Chains A and B, each alone.
Chain A
Amino acid sequence: MDVELTEILEALCQHAPFNEIADDPQLKDMTKEIEIQYVRAGEMVIAQSALNNTLFFIRSGAIEILSKDKKLIRRMNEGELFGYASILRGGKSSQAMRTIEDSLLYRIPARWFLKLHQENDNFSDFFQLAREARLRAAMDAQNSDVSLMTCPVVSLLRRPPISTNIDSNIRVAAQIMAEHRVSSLLITDGDELIGILTDRDLRTRAVAQGLAYDTPVSEIMTRDPIVMDSGDYASEAVLKMMERNVHHIPIVKNGRPIGVVSTGDIIQKESHGSVYLISDIYKQTSIEGLKSISQKMTHTFTQLVVADANTQMIGNAMSHIGTAFVKRLLQLAEEIYGPPPVPYCFIALGSQAREEQTIKTDQDNALILSDKYDKKLHGEYFEALSDWVCRNLDECGYTLCSGDIMASNPRWRQPLKAWKENFSEWIQKPKAEALLRLSIFFDLRGIYGDKTLAKQLNQHIRQQAQQHSGFLTFMARNANQRKPPLGFFRQFVLDGEGKQSRTFNLKERGIAPIIDIVRVHALACGSDKLNTLERIEDIEAAGLLPGGRAKDLALALEMIGMVRIRNQKEQIEAGEEPNNHVNPEHLSSFEKRHLRDAFHIVSRQQEFIKFRYAGKRS
């Protein structure tokens, strides 16, 4: 007995992509597993953030897609499909789907969709093209889909790596690439990744040069390509591609290549503005252009918050954007003032160095000059350059630092030698008062120019800090200066003045203390990381904290950070300047409960470092 649901199969095959694969015998089997659902107008088919494992086919009726903020993204009619984006993402639907007419829907199980998507190129092409075409529309509708920001790079991989051995010739390589329809080929020696060969290499380094077909691949491949780890964020892959102008990045896991991510893969995945924002920054040739981009920042920020990106991702994105502004301004400055007479490195300090920037931060930066620097000869150049960059950063929304910790301050524009002396002095003869102001210098990242200068200075700092335990005692004491508002339920311990009198400062009372605690431990264990979460990993690995405590710190940071970020988003939406002040009355009971737990963690850990780095006097 062969049961054929002809009516259903025929209905499917009248529409793309099924019409293109009508001869695929699997379709018949798939039809047998379809479920049919009648939904009246105005009902939710897929709710916002619901887990979805069904591909829906609209047999009759109409559906509308709504964004997170309930805005209409588009309407779909008979013959259209929905639900595939969430299946491909392997999880929650970022949009809501609602019937606008009485509709008859075919429910196709996700595994059939995934199977066809994997096995049938005609089928999968349809969804890729559809997605690209909708990208613009979605962005225009201010739809936020931060899949790229929130997914690990490994999720972009579509197949195992295609590779060939180092002793192949370019003809063999090209044949393999043609056979597998890939635009890049990994070159290996046994298990080891030696290089990468791309379409572009074949074109420019082989064909255009008229090389013989039997030329070994080793002659035209890119040796030691930039690779990323499978756990890295996809957004980092994008940034790396733009930074290095490459289109393919091999992904490795435990040192072995497991696939290649290409710009094409990214475009398919990408539907969010922050990465475009960065590439736009690099395209600007005037301050006006940069200023107009900086005005879009708040939008990018709120998009990220709305899309449930965590604080780490938001910090990462905002810092990369901030760094892009600095880099572009320095490039423009070098066009105006000419190339630097001696090497220098522009360094970011504080949150930007830790890649934890949020919206609206002061600029904290400095300049390390090469030791060849001669004030008489080069002083004027660097003064002009720094003034110009800091002034224009201010124009772009990164306001001048109230403490004057900026490259434009001659005190923070010194040769490496002088910087090292400064740090030796601070570390060897610590003064509590001074160190309070200086803690920001212990988060230091080279972002433009000769980054080896920053690297050497960081090395020096690590060495010095580990050799002088007295310094850690001071740092630990300073990390105890700002206490979390433990009693904020019973009596409000409020920090603000005037308009802010009913609020407390989340950054001062929660986030900064955690960062301070973590910095002390990081210096103690010689970690070369700057990001607080990465430092926490190093601290945990070094066994400086009792089991689980390091993770507690990370959780507390995320919790407080999230409340701050949501609060800032609400401030922006209310047309206010975002800041770090939170009115406890505006917190949900959920937020209050978690904040209280987080503050308790901070308090306990403050106590802990006081004893851990007690020094001789206590």
Chain B
Amino acid sequence: MSKHLLKKKSTEEIQDWQAMFAQWAEEAPEGPLKRYYQAGMIAPNTALKDTPLLALDLETTGLDPQHDEIISLGLIPLSSKIIRCQGAKYWMAKPEHSLNAESVTIHEITHAELAGAPSLNAILDEILIALTSQVVVVHCVAIERQFLLEASMKAYGYPLYFPVLDTMDIERQATFKPWWQRFGRRPSLRLDACRQRYKLPRYKAHHALTDALSSAELLQAQISYHMDPEADISNYWM
């Protein structure tokens, strides 16, 4: 694979999460979420290499954020160079509706295991503390962001937003070629397929912590191939 650096964002494209956090800190209702926003976010001109990153993965009962529920969440901290197992965290959450058989087979999480777990509301405060001031790393931002936003609305009546490095989007940019250079199908952007491109080992998917680790490792590989650790984080976050 050749070293193909991602394009830098133009001034209009750049988002200032620090400023947005300050605004939400004003608006959010008193409580854990307000404290989360008040703790703030790093400045957009922070270098990628100095950015505190936190890989996150959720397992859910299905794909619809409106109806389906989060049943487990894994977090693992990293920097642009190193993943630290020491700060890894994992929660299971008991869904309000019962699990269907299909999602049980995907997750290998059983009813019995979930029966003993706390409700998502009960652990959301803890999760917010873990997320404080971190830029989140996920594979496919849409899912994680939506589910957490729903959970936050339900618990606090106010949305939870956080800046994200999306390994899927990074991969899309890295593998992007204009149509006249394309030959055959677009490369797959599935987590496992992306990892294989960087010769990363294959993991059993669908455990929140393993998948978080999975995307953390993928980001390390992408950084070493396509990103500039000295560049501002605002070029990459979304």
Contact = CB atoms under 8 A, between A and B. Distances in A.
Contact of A1 (B89, B204, B220): B89
B204 A7 contact: yes
Interface in B207-232: 207, 209-210, 213, 216-217, 220-221, 224-225
Interface stretch (B42-50, B79-87, B134-142, B178-186): B79-87
A52 B201 CA distance: 26
A1 B91 contact: yes
Contact of A7 (B82, B210, B221): B210
Interface residues on A, range: 20 to 34
B210 to A, nearest CB: 5
B44 to A, nearest CB: 26
- Main secondary structure on B side of the interface with A: mixed
A38 interface: yes
Interface string A1-41: 11111111001000000000000000000011111111110
Contacts, number: 72
B207 A6 contact: yes
Contact of B83 (A6, A32, A35, A101): A35
A361 interface: no
Contacts of A33: 85-86
B203 to A, nearest CB: 5
A59 interface: yes
Nearest to B223: A38
Interface in B60-82: 81-82
Nearest to A61: B199
Contacts of A102: 198-199, 221
**Chain A contact residues, majority secondary structure:** mixed
Contact of A5 (B81, B82, B199, B209): B209
A178 B66 CA distance: 69
Contact of B90 (A1, A36, A59, A104): A1
A5 B210 CA distance: 7
A399 interface: no
Interface string B80-122: 0111111011110000000000000000000000000000000
Contacts of B81: 37
Contacts of B82: 35-37, 107
Interface residues of B, number: 26
B88 A104 contact: no
B112 to A, nearest CB: 16
A439 interface: no
Nearest to A7: B210
B86 A32 contact: yes
A38 B82 CA distance: 8
A59 B201 contact: yes
B157 to A, nearest CB: 26
A33 B87 CA distance: 9
Contacts of B39: none
Contacts of B207: 6-7
B20 interface: no
A332 B182 CA distance: 81
Given A5-B85, A107-B82, 11 more contacts: A4-B209, A5-B88, A5-B213, A7-B210, A34-B85, A37-B81, A38-B200, A38-B220, A40-B224, A59-B201, A104-B200
10 contacts: A3-B88, A5-B88, A5-B213, A6-B207, A6-B209, A7-B203, A33-B85, A37-B220, A38-B221, A60-B201
Interface of B: 81-86, 88-91, 198-201, 203-204, 207, 209-210, 213, 216-217, 220-221, 224-225
